[in-house]
Amino acid sequence: MRIHAGNLWAGATLWLALAAAPALAEEVVERSISSEYQSMRLVKVVDGLTHPWAVAFLPDGRKLISERPNGLVLVDRDGRKAPLQGFPAFHAFNQGGVLDVVLHPRHEDNGWIYVTYSKGDARGTVPALIRARLDGGRLTAVENIFESNTYTQPGRHYGSRLLFLPDGTLLMTIGDRGAHPPRAQDTLDHSGSIVRLNDDGTVPEDNPFVGQEGYAPEIYTYGNRNIQGMALHPATGEVWVTEHGPRGGDELNLIEAGNNYGWPVVTLGRDYRSEDRFPDAQGRQREGMVDPVFEFLPTLAPSGLAVVDSAHFPRWQGNLLAGGLRAQRILRLVVEDHAVVHAEELLRDRVGRVRDVRQGPDGYLYVLNDAPNGALYRIEPAR
């Protein structure tokens, strides 16, 4: 287990050296990749990243990239990258470390950046959330505004995607933590849930279980195994997520407040070792538990999800793009009336394990791969 203190690097000297480094030229990896409705070109924007997890786009054209074992990296407009100072101590072990990063919807006014990470002590680790501001090469005004309520060993199934809703509240996914799946049905335990918070970490008064005995007030949904893709559909306002199953059973779900998504009482997946029914499961469906909209077969191991809303890709408008770790591809999903009516594989075996998929403010699509020498790629229409 690597425990990182808040001051992870040598400081101003290293920052100045990296800032003075020559710009890194973007690399066109493939000039034309055909697909059913859109020819693409693939551009490598930044490389040399260590297990990158998420990317956020600053209004001035710079980018923030989280590296799971290291912290946050700031990438300037010319592609130069440098580590940020000031991140609180975190545990980089197994699937833990520094995870998702998003900007506040009013970032240009308030400067807030939100980051999830694995926080640990002798009891184990929990998914936690900070907000902070950026001042040159460091984070300032760092506030720990939320942490899951049960410390757990071992270090896996953190979930940890973030999404701001149109009303200004924030969703955060929390995995079942792997050790004891039935916790996802324990409504006093944040594990295996999506929580909804105000932007300062407090509980919204209209959360579905506020004031109900036997429920943690932060819980928005429960019975979720390990959600690592989450996106808001700009036209419908719907929240879509992709969720890891056990062996098989990877799911696309439509998220609605107060729902129980069934894990582990119901699952379409199987036991890892035997391929028999998952030990805690009682079947594939059950009244009062929400079925997935779609099961990814074969296994996708989903991470990263985007909704296309860009003039650059008119034939993909409104489609979901679901990244796959084990599958090493992106699936383009056409959804009509809450059903997947068509799916197409994109970038199969071209960039490796897909960790994050996002649409940038420029309307292009961005992909991070999970690798010890990872990279950020941009998908453009072929020229």
18 φ/ψ angles, rounded to the nearest 5 degrees:
-70, -40
The one catalytic residue in 4, 157, 190, 244 is 157
Q: Using alpha carbons, select from 278, 321, 277, 275 the residue that is nearest to residue 300.
A: 321
Question: Residue 332: what residue type?
Answer: R
Q: Is 4 a catalytic residue?
A: no
Chain mean position to CA 196: 15
Let me know: does 115 contact 70? Beta carbons within 8 Å. no
* Cα-Cα-Cα-Cα dihedral sign, residues 233, 238, 244, 250: negative
Q: Using alpha carbons, select from 212, 215, 227, 105 the residue that is nearest to residue 176.
A: 227
Q: Using alpha carbons, select from 213, 205, 202, 281 the residue that is nearest to residue 248.
A: 281
Let me know: does 325 contact 301? Beta carbons within 8 Å. yes
Q: How far apart are CA 304 and CA 227, in angstroms?
A: 9
Q: How far apart are CA 330 and CA 78, in angstroms?
A: 27
In 244-336 the beta strands, taken as DSSP E runs, fall at 250-255, 294-296, 302-307, 320-324, 329-336
Q: Using alpha carbons, select from 151, 163, 73 the residue that is nearest to residue 119.
A: 151
Q: Six-digit token pair at 194? A: 């999506």
Q: How far apart are CA 249 and CA 270, in angstroms?
A: 7
Q: Six-digit token pair at 10? A: 């040598």
Q: Using alpha carbons, select from 328, 264, 263, 271 the residue that is nearest to residue 299.
A: 328
Residues near 204 by Cβ (< 8 Å), separated by ≥ 6? 169, 196, 197, 198, 210
Let me know: does 321 contact 338? Beta carbons within 8 Å. no
Which residues are known to be catalytic?
157
